[in-house]
Each structure stands twice: as structure tokens, then as C-alpha cells.
């Protein structure tokens, strides 16, 4: 059997965007072959079926997010969280997105789309979100103590969900940042 002659991560990055924007059910394997430039046989041999390709895409997205969080937390939990939140807000305003192009968060959208139709995939997305919260909780506990780490991690997750979902409304960046300052007063906003 011939070895794959393409970069799997590059292909996954393309399928992430495709699934992210069109959803799992809205994406056909014909869409995938058109977007990636691969023949169906190459896709199936390398990734399996559509569900397996979706899982690989979701895993890559979650890993990239975890890596970004780890880099941010190297600045300390408070500073790192502020960096991540402000980057999310700024990312929405950096591009001239149309409502159709804006894609919120791949993991959140997956859970919302697939809860009733593909519970296995929705559960996988939920476990990605749980791991993210656990990472926040651990970082927060190291800087702010264990006592409030669960509550603080929950508040960060709610802020992220809010940014990602409310982004469809194309809110004013300054208003969103001020809202974050008010809703997460325990973070060191004074430096920003």
C-alpha cells in the first residue's frame, strides 16, 4: 500500500474549517474532497469514514486550543486568561466576517449541533470542554488557591461561551471587553 503523500495536519486544518463553518451534517465527503484536493480513496485510507475524519479534526482543534492555553498560562493564570479572552474578542474584529463566515467555536458548535442527532460526537465535544475547564481550574488554583478555582474556572468558561456565541451579533469590541472586566473582577485587569 502506498504511503500518504500529504501532510495530515494540513488536511485536518482544512477539514476543521469546513466542519466548523458548515457543521457535521452540512458537510459531505464531496465537500471534503473539494476542499482538501484529495481523492476519496486517499481520504478513506488515511482517515477512515466521515465520522473518524470529524473526530480527528475535533481532536486537532482541541489540541491546538490546549497548546495556546498552555503558552498563555506561562504568563500566569490571571494574565494568561486575560490574554486568551482579549484575543478571542479581537479575533472577531480583525477580519471582515459576514454572518455566514463567522464560526464561533468548533467545539461549542459541535455540541450544540449534534446533541440530539449524534450523541457520541456531542459527548466527545463535551469531554473536550471538560478538559479545557480542568486546565483552567488547575492554573487558577495555582495562582488564586483551590477554594474558588471551580467557580472561577466556570466563570471563565461562561465568558468564553459568551464571547463565541455573542460574536454572531457583531458586538462592539470595547463593550465586550468592559463586560469581561465587570464580570471577572478577580482577574488583574488593571494592567490592561
Quick: pLDDT tens for 51-79.
999 999 999 999 999 999 999 999 999 99
What does the pLDDT read at residue 1?
A: 44
Q: What cell does 173 get?
A: 469590541
In a domain, 112, yes or no: yes
Q: What is the pLDDT of residues 119-170, one digit of tens each?
A: 999 999 999 999 999 999 999 999 999 999 999 999 999 999 999 888 777 7
Is 98 inside any structural domain? yes
Is 2 contained in some domain?
Answer: no
Q: Is the pLDDT of residue 80 over 80?
A: yes
Residue 77 lies in a domain: yes
Residue 63 resides in a domain: yes
Domains held by the chain: number: 1
Residue 40 is assigned to a structural domain of this protein:
no
Number of Cβ within a 10 Å radius of residue 75: 12
- Please tell me the predicted confidence (pLDDT) of residue 105: 81
Whether residue 7 lies inside any domain: the answer is no
Q: Note down the domain range covering 150.
A: 51-191
Residue 66, C-beta contacts closer than 8 angstroms, at least 6 positions apart: 131, 132, 135
Question: Has residue 57 been placed in a domain?
Answer: yes
Amino acid at each position: 500500500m502506498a504511503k500518504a503523500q500529504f501532510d495530515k495536519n494540513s488536511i485536518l486544518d482544512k477539514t476543521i474549517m469546513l466542519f466548523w463553518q458548515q457543521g457535521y451534517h452540512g458537510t459531505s465527503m464531496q465537500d471534503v474532497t473539494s476542499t482538501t484536493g484529495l481523492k476519496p480513496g486517499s481520504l478513506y485510507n488515511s482517515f477512515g469514514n466521515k465520522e473518524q475524519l470529524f473526530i480527528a479534526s475535533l481532536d486537532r482543534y482541541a489540541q491546538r486550543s490546549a497548546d495556546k492555553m498552555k503558552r498563555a498560562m506561562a504568563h500566569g493564570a490571571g494574565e494568561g486568561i486575560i490574554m486568551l479572552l482579549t484575543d478571542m474578542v479581537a479575533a472577531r474584529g480583525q477580519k471582515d466576517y459576514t454572518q455566514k463566515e463567522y464560526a464561533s467555536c468548533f467545539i461549542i458548535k459541535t455540541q450544540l449541533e449534534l446533541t440530539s442527532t449524534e450523541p457520541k460526537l456531542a459527548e466527545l465535544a463535551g469531554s473536550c470542554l471538560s478538559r479545557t475547564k480542568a486546565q483552567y481550574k488547575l492554573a487558577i488554583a495555582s495562582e488564586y488557591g483551590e477554594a474558588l478555582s471551580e467557580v472561577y474556572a466556570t466563570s471563565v468558561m461562561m465568558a468564553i461561551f459568551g464571547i463565541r456565541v455573542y460574536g454572531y451579533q457583531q458586538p462592539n469590541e470595547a463593550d465586550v471587553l468592559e463586560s469581561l472586566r465587570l464580570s471577572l473582577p478577580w482577574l488583574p485587569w488593571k494592567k490592561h
